[in-house]
Structure 1
Amino acid sequence: MKYYFSFLVFTIFTLSAFSQIDSRNNSISIPAVESPKDSIESNTVIPKEPIKSDNNKFNALNTPKVSTNLNFPKKEFSMFPEEKFGNPGELYTKQINKNIENLKLTPEEIEQRNGSLTDQFLGDFKSKAKFVNVVYRDHGYVDGDVIQVLVNDDIIHARVFLSGGFKGFKLDLQKGFNKIDFLALNQGSSGPNTAEFRVVDDAGNLVSANQWNLAKGVKATIIIMKE
């Protein structure tokens, strides 16, 4: 009986000890270690909804508005807005037409239109006067005609603008020949170089009066002989 009791106590003690060990083993908590795979998956960014665009935005950037009603200038651009240019061949065509018309004109009519291409001698006159007044003007449209005046081949007036009114100079006559040349320096804007001149002596008598139509570089000449 004593042996049986001792065996029972030993058995109970042994079972109690094993129960405590199992209880301790079940209560141990081991922390979990995240694997690299878990870390990547946990940091994955879930994309948001795509940005909605309207007519003025693209990918959150503003785009310029495009107008469908564009008003383009009707006239071509020119750095000189007040000046109108014709056909580039217009000037050439006018010149051809002018040449054709010249074929229908007499030599006198052509000279009247284009100006004389040869020097013109407008006469010689005798006078007993001590001096004469020589005056001239543009007898046509005042278009910028310019002349040079020479006496006995010496330049008296280098550049004279022909206006609508008479102007000129006083010339003291030398014994013998007094040659007066009117040299056309240009043909003005409408051509040719046109002028009316008068020569009046010291008594107010008209010695000579005439006109010229000259091309550029051509001259008209008169001679006054003092007796």
Structure 2
Amino acid sequence: MKPYILCIVLFLFSLSNYAQIDSKKKSVAIPAVESKKNSSDITPSKPIPNSNNTFGMNRPKVSPSLEMPKKDFSMFPQEEFGNPGELYTKQVDKNLENIKLTPEEVEQRNGSSTDQYFGDFKSKAKFVNVVYRDHGYVDGDIIQVRVNDDIIHARVFLSGGFKGFKLDLKKGFNKIDFVALNQGESGPNTAEFKVVDDAGILVSANRWNLATGVKATIIVVKE
């Protein structure tokens, strides 16, 4: 009899636990509350009035009659060029047309491109002193000195003071060549020379303006 009663108690206890679990799963519905105001009752925000002051900053007033310039202002003549540098090139060319140099002026500026002959001079002296210097700005002019096509001084730097050599004259022609080896920093190769005999008499003196590789020649004829 007791086992029967125990089974009934266990059955009732299980039904009680199931009812509790099932009650926890049920949710409570909350009824919706209608709003008193309808969306149509919402008053739209007013637009910001048209003002020149926005957030404390003044906006510039634009005049309706303001017209923008059609072309940029220019101090130059109203002429269009494909290349901006063409304007300056034309101005330079126009100035160069007004500068016309004679052949002598061109030679003075660029140096003679042909050999210079300063003449031949007769002398009864036993020897002559040949001296030379840079008659212009001392800029590094260098020459070579030859006598009768023999190199006497291979490289001579022309300074502002005279320097040179003694030449014993041979019977007949004594040819002296001054060859310009460069044109210095400013160009051309510029020099002044003097030939003085054993009595201190000036035989010859002259100046040259030579391009590189060009020579100046003088001949002393011993009688």
TM-score, length basis structure 1: 0.56
Where does 1:78-227 land on structure 2 (aligned, <5 Å)? 100=96, 104-227=100-223
Q: Does the CA contact (< 8 Å) of 1:147 and 1:162 recur in 2?
A: yes
After superposition, the C-alpha distances for 1:128-163 in whole angstroms (9 at most, x for unaligned) are 000000000000000000000000000000000000
User: Share of identical aligned residues, percent?
Assistant: 85
Deviation at 1:104, TM superposition (A): 1.0
Tell me: CA distance 1:180–1:103, structure 2 relative to 1, closer, same or farther (3 Å).
farther
Find the aligned partners of 1:142 and 1:102 in 2 and give their Cα distance: 32
Partner AA of 1:215 in structure 2 = A
Runs of 4+ with >2 A deviation: 100-103
Partner AA of 2:189 in structure 1 = N
Find the aligned partners of 2:97 and 2:132 in 1 and give their Cα distance: 31
Deviation at 1:101, TM superposition (A): 7.5
Q: Which residue of 2 aligns with 1:25?
A: none
Gaps of 5+ in 1: 1-92
After superposition, the C-alpha distances for 1:194-226 in whole angstroms (9 at most, x for unaligned) are 000000000000000000000000000000000
Larger radius of gyration: 1
- SS of 1:165's equivalent? coil
Find the aligned partners of 1:117 and 1:201 in 2 and give their Cα distance: 31
Find the aligned partners of 1:128 and 1:178 in 2 and give their Cα distance: 12
- SS of 1:108's equivalent? helix
Find the aligned partners of 1:107 and 1:186 in 2 and give their Cα distance: 22
Find the aligned partners of 1:208 and 1:125 in 2 and give their Cα distance: 8
Tell me: CA distance 1:102–1:161, structure 2 relative to 1, closer, same or farther (3 Å).
farther
Q: Does the CA contact (< 8 Å) of 1:102 and 1:110 recur in 2?
A: no
Deviation at 1:103, TM superposition (A): 6.7
Q: Which residue of 2 aligns with 1:16?
A: none
